[in-house]
Amino acid sequence: MAMLGDIVQSVEMWLKLIRKPQPYVDPDLDPVLLVPGIAGSILKAVEHENGNEERVWVRILEADSKFCSKLWSRFDPSTGKTVSLDPSTSITVPEERYGLYAIDVLDPDLIIGQESVYYFHDMIVEMIKWGFQEGKTLFGFGYDFRQSNRLQDTLDRLAAKLESVCKASGGKKINIISHSMGGLLVKCFMGLHSDVFEKYVKNWIAIAAPFRGAPGYIASTFLNGVSFVEGWEQNFFISKWSMHQLLIECPSIYELMACPYFHWQHMPLLEIWREKEGCNGIPQTILESYRPGESIDIFKESLSGNSIDYGGENIPLPFNLEILKWAKETHKVLSEAKVPSGVKFYNIYGINLETPHSVCYGSEETPITDIRDLRLSEPRYVCVDGDGTVPVESAKADGLNAEARVGIPGEHRGILCEPHLYRILKHWLKAGNPDPFYNPINDYVILPTAFEMESLHEKGIQVTSLKEEWEIITEDQGNQDANKNSLVSSISVSQGPNKQSSRSEAHATVIVRPQNEGKQHVELNAISVSIDAQS
Q: Which positions are annotated as active-site residues?
A: 180, 387, 412
22 φ/ψ angles, rounded to the nearest 5 degrees: -75, 140
CA 299 – CA 108 distance, rounded (Å): 35
Cα distances from 345 to residues 187, 254, 341, 402, 530, in angstroms, run 11, 25, 10, 5, 46
- DSSP one-letter string for 335-385: HH----TT-EEEEEEEESEEEEEEEEES-SSS-BS-GGGGGGSPPEEEEEE
CA angle in degrees (0–180, nearest 5) for 463-466-470: 175
With 0-12 / 13-18 / 19 or more C-beta atoms within 10 angstroms meaning exposed / middle / buried, residue 496 is: exposed
- Compute the distance between CA of residue 417 and CA of residue 131 in angstroms, rounded to an integer: 18
The sign of the dihedral angle between the CA atoms of 420, 421, 424, 426 is: negative
* Residue 462: strand, helix, or coil: strand
Q: CB under 8 Å to 368, separation ≥6 — which residues? A: 272, 273, 274, 275, 361, 362, 374, 377
The answer to whether the CB of 466 falls within 8 A of the CB of 456 is no
Residue 218 near residue 268, CB atoms below 8 Å: no
The DSSP result for 421-453, as a single string, is: HHHHHHHHTT-SS--TTEETTTTEEEEEEEEEE
DSSP helix/strand/coil, 69: helix
Name the helix (H) or strand (E) containing 455: strand 444-458
The amino acid sitting at 401 is: N
Alpha helices (runs of H) in 113-259, residue ranges in sequence order: 121-129, 152-168, 182-192, 194-200, 215-224, 240-247, 251-254
Rounded CA gap, 416 and 411, in Å? 9
**Cβ–Cβ under 8 Å, residues 363 and 273:** yes
Task: Determine the Cα–Cα distance for residues 41 and 96; give it in Å rounded to an integer.
Answer: 12
Which H helix or E strand runs over 458? Answer: strand 444-458
Number of neighbouring beta carbons within 10 Å of residue 469: 16
Q: Which helix (H) or strand (E) holds 308?
A: strand 307-310
